[in-house]
Amino acid sequence: MAQAAADDQGRPALAPGMGPKAASAMLFMGMAQTGRLVLTVLSTVVVARILSPGDYGLIAMVAPVTAFVMFFQDLGLNSATIQAKSISAEQSNSLFWRNMLASVVIALVLVALSPAVAWFYADIRAGFLTAASALGVLLGGLALQHTALMT
């Protein structure tokens, strides 16, 4: 078996031209994350200004439940797409439908949890908002595979 090239300290050497590409990718990702953070803060400020404090608090009550359930949405299938050297149309199609199935199951879990959320917070509106957030899960599921293909 052939040994990979190494630098003077025994670490694997980068392929020629990879250093500038890696630096460029790091810079791009840093700018993208910074932009995402700025947009998140700005959208939070705008929503806080539009909604009454009670309505904003209602969203704050439901957000952790929705975020926790959505944590399981992609089931690592996006990573499979991103890490594959090549992916056929059939494999991509299969992963899309598996993502959609997972999204439907998660949406149903949110709808099923909505009465418990309403009971926990003693506010029926929290239950309705939890059930309504299932629509966002379904719409997000439509984009998962396409986003992974663009990465």
- Of 144 and 102, more confident: 102
**Which residue carries 């499979």 as its tokens?**
80
Whether the CA torsion 133, 110, 35, 31 is positive or negative: it is: negative
To the nearest whole number, what is the mean pLDDT of the chain?
A: 85
Q: What is the dihedral of CA 130, 132, 135, 140, to 10 degrees?
A: -40
Structural contact between residues 134 and 108, judged by C-beta atoms closer than 8 angstroms: yes
Write the burial class of residue 16 (CB in 10 Å: 0-12 exposed, 13-18 middle, 19+ buried).
Answer: exposed
Angle between helices 89-121 and 124-150 (to 10 degrees): 160
11-69: per-residue pLDDT in tens?
666 667 777 777 888 888 889 899 999 998 999 899 889 989 999 899 999 999 988 88
For range 127-135, the mean pLDDT: 94
Q: Please give the pLDDT value at position 145.
A: 79
CA distance 108 to 102: 10
User: Which ranges of 1-151 does DSSP label H, i.e. alpha helix?
Assistant: 18-50, 53-70, 77-83, 89-121, 124-150
Count of alpha carbons within 13 angstroms of residue 136, beta-carbon side: 11
What is the model's pLDDT at position 127?
A: 95
